[in-house]
Amino acid sequence: MRSRGGKRRGFVWASGFRGNQGAGRCGRRPAVPTTLPPDCLCFPRAMRRLPHSAVRILFRTLPCALAALCALPGCAPERERRNVLLVSIDTLRRDRLGAYGAEHPTPALDALAAEGFLFDDATTTAPTTLPAHSSILTGTYPHRHGVRRNGLNRLPPEALTLTELLRANGYSTGAFVGTAVLDRVYGLDQGFDVYDDTMRAEDSEAQEQRRAERVVESALRWVRSVEGPFFLWVHVFDPHGPYDPPPPFDGMYYHGDPRDPSHRSLEGIPLVFYQNLDGIRDVAYPIAQYDAEVAYTDHQLAKLFDGLGDRLDETAVFVTADHGESLGEQGYWFDHGETLGDACVRVPLLMRAPWLGGGKVVTGPVSHVDILPTVLDVLGLRPLPGAEGTSLLPALASGSAPARDRFLETFLPSGKRKRPLFALASAGFKLVQVGTDPRRRELRTLGDHRADEPSLEAELGARLMEYATREPDVSQDEIEMTDEQREKLRALGYVR
């Protein structure tokens, strides 16, 4: 990153140490083609009538064929292409970043926000990991990409991804993920040259997740090995429960004995089993450890940003969370996925691309489905027909995104509720509905306060019902979990 005077500086890590400012440097890359015809990249409706096996073969070979077209005469290079870095942080509440007003600073992400753009009202499409990431990579809501449940759905091959689009345009593509919930068996590996979903280490670390340190180290090894433009997706899982930060972060924010009998604040609070809070009596302890996980994550991301060296300033960086986490809101503790409360569905979204300016807070509603169109716009690639999001570049210039509808859903059951929840966020309100039953609706304001606006509820209800009853546009690939996969998801609380 550069200071106001233009001189590169390292990110400040949580320990105060500045990263190696020269690491990962590379020379200029030769100019290469920036775009392909849009009709080469859209998926015609007629193809949906092809046999599933034929569609799968088509989409496994299409990127190579499209890339080959760019080598033909007449596809002349226009300019040097930028890189793209997508960082997704699992289970990160927006109010835990210093840039969003948190009590504790997050130096690396705060610096990125200060030099780039902070979106003040961003939402996920679903408060669970696999559906949310499927929306990020396809620019569509779950009813379009077909992934609505962790561990049970797989992204189908006819769901065209950002990765496939960039690979078709000559980008090297690499993904490094921190949880078994994003195992390649669930289909997000489409279009990646390298998809690193290895969880087990030589020290027999738990198979369902790995620390951000390992993810970042692997990602940097890969990116230093590639020449030309790259698309790098880095997913870190650490803020997800159980909240178990490594030393020295484990003692950063809590001092004392959380098992002291004098503490009684956790009494009566229902605890999810995977949080490993047996014997803990002070509610401040898990909250402090969650914050420490966030601090550790920020520390590792500083290494990632510094490790890119001068390439960082030629890279469009997007940082978001797949969803948030409830820390007691509406009586829901240390979990996510069962409700569509703001704590779980409002997410941080940061963007840095030095050639576009920065230092700005962008107000107005945005969604995960906007990331794909924005990446294409930043790179000068043509819009993808059928994407449900919109490019955020106009909002960067104006400072505000226009009013719009945003849809939310969760298919994770809760207690006696077996049907999914759907919600429509619009004009400062959120209408939540159980299944397709209009009698089980609740209108809320931002902050999840009940609202009594019958005419608005009816207006939003009609639009929400249209979404809730819409059939998926693609085949909903379901998988039969192995015992090993089931145990991994159970350890993370996704199989109850």
The predicted-structure confidence for 467-482, as pLDDT tens digits, reads as follows 999 877 655 566 665 6
Task: Give DSSP secondary structure letters for 290-314.
Answer: HHHHHHHHHHHHHHHHHHTGGGGGG
Q: How confident is the model at residue 71 (pLDDT cuts 50, 70, 90)?
A: very low
The alpha carbons of the chain give a radius of gyration, in whole angstroms, of 22
Give residue 314's pLDDT band: very low, low, confident or very high (50, 70, 90).
very high
Specify the fold of 38-71+82-401: Alkaline Phosphatase, subunit A (3.40.720)
State how far the alpha carbon of 476 is from the alpha carbons of 143, 421, 464, 466, 469, in Å: 9, 18, 21, 19, 15
Residue 201 has pLDDT above 70, yes or no: no
321 and 347 Cβ atoms separated by less than 8 Å: yes
Band of residue 79 on the pLDDT scale cut at 50, 70, 90 = low
Which of 261-270, 271-280, 373-382 is predicted least confidently?
271-280
Q: Which percentage of the chain shows pLDDT scores above 90?
A: 65
Residues with Cβ within 8 Å of residue 20, at least 6 apart in sequence: 10, 306, 307
pLDDT at 33: 37
Q: Is the pLDDT of residue 297 over 90?
A: yes
What pLDDT, on a 0 to 100 scale, did the predictor assign at position 412? 76
Q: How many angstroms from the chain centroid is the CA of residue 221?
A: 22
Question: What's the whole-number mean pLDDT along residues 90-118?
Answer: 98
Give the mean pLDDT of 220-239. Answer: 98
pLDDT grade, residue 311 (50/70/90)? very high
What Cα–Cα distance (Å) separates residue 465 from each residue in 118, 272, 421, 422, 458? 32, 32, 12, 9, 10
Q: Which residues contact 426 (CB under 8 A, 6 or more apart)?
A: 365, 403, 404, 405, 406, 460, 463
Residue 185: pLDDT band with limits 50, 70, 90:
very high
Mean confidence (pLDDT) of the chain = 84
Q: Look at residues 56, 43, 235, 50 and name the one whose alpha carbon lies nearest to residue 154.
A: 56
Residue 482's pLDDT is what?
A: 65
Which tens digits make up the pLDDT trace of 338-389?
999 999 999 999 999 999 999 999 999 999 999 999 999 999 999 988 889 9
One-character DSSP codes across 79-137: BPPPEEEEEEETT--GGGSGGGT-SS--HHHHHHHHHSEEEEEEE-S-SSHHHHHHHHH
Backbone angles phi, psi at 207, to 5 degrees: -75, -15
Mean pLDDT for 101-110 is 98
Residues 6+ apart with CB under 8 A from 33: 70, 75, 76, 77, 78, 169, 170
Number of neighbours of residue 165 by Cβ within 10 angstroms: 24
Q: Are 470 and 252 in contact (CB under 8 A)?
A: no
Between residues 31 and 356, the one the model is more confident about = 356
Whose structure tokens read 């599933």? 52
Per-residue confidence band for 21, with pLDDT thresholds at 50, 70 and 90: very low
Q: What is the pLDDT of residues 32-69, one digit of tens each?
A: 333 444 444 444 334 444 444 444 444 444 544 444 34
DSSP 8-state symbol, 232:
E
Stated as kind and residue range, the H or E segment containing 201 is none
d(CA 333, CA 269): 8
Measure Cα distances from 194 to 92, 199, 231 in Å. 26, 15, 11
pLDDT value of position 450 = 83
Q: Look at residue 289 and tell me whether its pLDDT is greater than 50.
A: yes
pLDDT at residue number 416: 56
At residue 74, the pLDDT reads 35
What average pLDDT score do residues 398-420 get? Answer: 86
The Cα 207–Cα 200 span in angstroms is: 5
Instruction: Report the alpha-carbon distance of residue 409 to residue 49 in Å, rounded.
Output: 28
Q: Which of the four pLDDT bands, split at 50, 70 and 90, describes residue 103?
A: very high
More confident residue, 463 or 51: 463
What does the pLDDT read at residue 481? 55
User: What is the structure's pLDDT at 364?
Assistant: 97
> Residue type at 226?
V
How many Cα atoms within 13 Å fall on the side-chain side of residue 347? 32
Q: Span 180-197, mean pLDDT? A: 96
C-alpha closest to that of 85 among 382, 352, 323, 391: 352
Q: What pTM value is reported for the model?
A: 0.82
57 vs 51: CA distance, rounded Å: 10
Q: Tell me what pLDDT residue 51 has.
A: 47
The amino acid that residue 454 corresponds to is P
> Peptide bond before 242: cis, by omega within 30 degrees of 0?
yes
